[in-house]
Amino acid sequence: MIQMPQSLADGREPTAEEVGNHFKVPRERMRQIGNKAPRKFMYREERRRTLGHHLGN
């Protein structure tokens, strides 16, 4: 999930509701973003590897 500065999280893992309040989006939307983010990063890394292979890197 998106990391918040320590001062906002008070040293503990913030809830989706707390993060949503900080970014002014509903808790459900934060949950959706948190679930989608790892897939986007994996896809981006896979494309980078494939492109590098085709370019000879």
Q: Where are the domains of the chain?
A: 15-55
Residue 55: helix, strand or coil by DSSP? Answer: helix
**pLDDT range class, residue 9, cuts 50, 70, 90:** very low
pLDDT digit string, tens, across residues 16-33: 888 889 889 998 988 888
- Predicted TM-score (pTM) above 0.75: no
* Rounded distance between C-alpha atoms, residue 55 and residue 11, angstroms: 44
* Rounded distance between C-alpha atoms, residue 32 and residue 54, angstroms: 33
* Rounded distance between C-alpha atoms, residue 6 and residue 19, angstroms: 12
Q: In the chain, what is the straight-line distance between the N-terminal and C-terminal CA atoms, in Å?
A: 31
pLDDT at 1 over 70: no
